[in-house]
């Protein structure tokens, strides 16, 4: 059932430095050319767009390096055709046709990813899923919401709330991203310590394979029916199938909300406090720990002390007990109580990316890199990554905060900046990424926590997965033997 006038406008991150209709591709390499006959046949399957400006917009996402290219009126790669299906059946027919004719297909939603997953590296078809917008059903008894993959976050959440439910998934890109994009890239919301990442929220999936076969996975609270095929598609970034419909687990709307703030002498003390909080069974929705530099920049700190922001919501007795555990642990670690108004300031500005865009326009290299590591490795990972990044010529800063916590570890979010010359912008950006990513992997962290792999991280997949990479290649070859689905991503 369609409950809203759904969001149809994609907010582009940086305006083109000229007319997008004459923008050029920055990346080169093999391409799949769409002939006039192909275009005519595809137009008979679903809505198609051949407008040059629209195709240029579909050649980029929020990958920061591509934002700087936009200022030069360049995009990573311009697709040959934009397709906007409205039904799963249209997706099926389109993929079957493209598979037969060897045409690359790159699926996208709001194009809010920051790793280039939506860039059509082989040109071909840009498969824009945002015409598939609808909340199809709500099972209030079971707490399950059925939604089409192109539905934007606010529309889905608003529909859930009319039934007294919330999915609890609030990424920074909430207003720009689609449900299918969340699933395809294994996204995480800012309340994930309470509600989980998107893979914890998926009840079932509908997807279309490269040859047009429609499949459905999941559908029960738990199972022992062989490997979990939903988890196989989660995070596959459009390389194994195109997700068309999602059933999400939802929770009752929270009764109360509680907030708190604490200040620690060191980041290490803050890490230990977060570890003890989680290990004691408390899972506040927000548990965000900022190092001295980020505390000073955003929370009025002294440049040395670490700041912890806490927010939880839910049933009053449970939330009060959780916050009591948080307080007791923090006090036992020698923390002082901070200004709870800092939490309000964070909630107000948490999705604001204007600073990133402004610095990009001024020629600064600015980006973030998120990884996850076990509690025992966090200090070493932070030291290794920051040391490696700051050793890059032109580097100005490398700071971090903890953003998502688990029983065995946490996500660490690094923010780095540099001031290179215009001629060295791209090489400096790539050098910072390379230094930080390789240092994180060598220190025991993983490759990505929730931003995914896309194009920018593909080169590190071998180091991250080792011999398991061959298993991923085997799955790809089995499900997409002609390699038409988002080629060039995930290191495939």
**Residue 13: its pLDDT value, please?**
64
- The SS3 call for residue 123 is strand
pLDDT range class, residue 6, cuts 50, 70, 90:
very low
pTM: 0.94
* In the chain, % of residues over pLDDT 90: 90
Which residues are CB-neighbours of 15 under 8 A, at least 6 positions away? 70
- The SS3 call for residue 380 is helix
CA-to-CA distance for 432 and 65, rounded, in angstroms?
12
CATH architecture of 138-212+224-252: 2-Layer Sandwich (3.30)
Average confidence score pLDDT of the chain: 94
Number of neighbours of residue 97 by Cβ within 10 angstroms: 18
pLDDT range class, residue 9, cuts 50, 70, 90:
very low
> Which residue, among 263, 339, 346, has the nearest Cα to 305 in the 3D structure?
263
**Residue 361: its pLDDT value, please?**
77
Query: pLDDT for 302-321, tens place per residue?
Result: 999 999 999 999 999 999 99
- CATH class label, 256-349: alpha beta
150 vs 13 pLDDT, higher one: 150
CATH number of 354-456: 3.30.300.330
Average pLDDT of the segment spanning 230-259: 98
Q: DSSP assignment, residue 338?
A: -
Average pLDDT of the segment spanning 396-416: 97
The residues pairing with 399 across neighbouring beta strands, listed in sequence order, are 415
Q: Do domains 256-349 and 354-456 have the same CATH topology?
A: no
Question: Hey, where are the domains in the chain?
Answer: 138-212+224-252, 256-349, 354-456
Average pLDDT of the segment spanning 376-394: 98
Place of tokens 């990813």: 113
């Amino acid at each position: 059932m369609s409950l809203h006038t759904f969001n149809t406008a994609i907010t582009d991150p940086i305006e083109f430095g000229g007319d997008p209709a004459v923008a050029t591709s920055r990346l080169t390499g093999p391409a799949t050319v769409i002939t006039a006959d192909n275009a005519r046949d595809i137009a008979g399957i679903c809505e198609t767009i051949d407008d040059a400006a629209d195709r240029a917009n579909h050649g980029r996402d929020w990958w920061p390096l591509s934002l700087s290219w936009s200022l030069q009126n360049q995009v990573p790669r311009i697709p040959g055709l934009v397709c906007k299906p409205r039904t799963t059946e249209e997706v099926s027919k389109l993929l079957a046709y493209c598979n037969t004719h060897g045409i690359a297909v790159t699926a996208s939603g709001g194009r809010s990813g920051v790793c280039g997953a939506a860039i059509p590296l082989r040109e071909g078809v840009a498969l824009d899923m945002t015409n598939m917008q609808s909340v199809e059903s709500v099972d209030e008894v079971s707490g399950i919401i059925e939604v089409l993959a192109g539905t934007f976050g606010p529309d889905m959440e608003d529909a859930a709330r009319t039934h007294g439910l919330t999915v609890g998934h609030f990424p920074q890109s909430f207003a720009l991203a689609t449900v299918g994009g969340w699933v395809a890239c294994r996204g995480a919301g800012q309340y994930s310590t309470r509600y989980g990442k998107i893979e914890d929220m998926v009840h079932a999936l509908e997807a279309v394979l490269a040859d047009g076969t429609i499949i459905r996975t999941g559908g029960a609270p738990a199972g022992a029916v062989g490997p979990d095929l939903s988890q196989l598609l989660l995070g596959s970034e459009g390389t194994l199938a195109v997700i068309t419909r999602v059933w999400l687990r939802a929770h009752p709307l929270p009764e109360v909300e509680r907030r708190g703030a604490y200040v620690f002498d060191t980041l290490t003390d803050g890490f230990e406090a977060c570890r003890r909080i989680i290990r004691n069974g408390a899972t506040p929705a927000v548990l965000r720990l900022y190092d001295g530099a980020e505390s000073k920049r955003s929370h009025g700190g002294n440049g040395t002390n670490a700041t912890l922001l806490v927010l939880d919501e839910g049933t009053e007795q449970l939330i009060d007990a959780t916050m009591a555990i948080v307080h007791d642990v923090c006090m036992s670690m020698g923390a002082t109580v901070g200004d709870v108004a800092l939490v309000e300031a964070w909630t107000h500005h948490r999705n604001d990316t204007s600073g990133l865009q402004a610095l990009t326009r001024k020629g600064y290299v600015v980006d973030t890199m998120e990884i996850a590591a076990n509690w025992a490795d966090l200090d070493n990972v932070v030291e290794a990554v920051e040391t490696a990044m700051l050793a890059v010529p032109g580097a100005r800063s490398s700071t971090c905060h903890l953003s998502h916590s688990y029983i065995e570890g946490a996500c660490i979010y690094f923010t780095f900046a540099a001031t290179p010359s215009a001629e060295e912008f791209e090489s400096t950006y790539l050098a910072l990424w390379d230094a930080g990513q390789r240092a994180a992997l060598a220190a025991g962290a993983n490759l990505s926590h929730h931003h995914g792999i896309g194009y920018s991280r593909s080169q590190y997949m071998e180091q991250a997965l080792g011999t398991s990479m061959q298993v991923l290649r085997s799955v790809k070859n089995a499900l997409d033997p002609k390699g038409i689905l988002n080629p060039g991503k995930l290191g495939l």
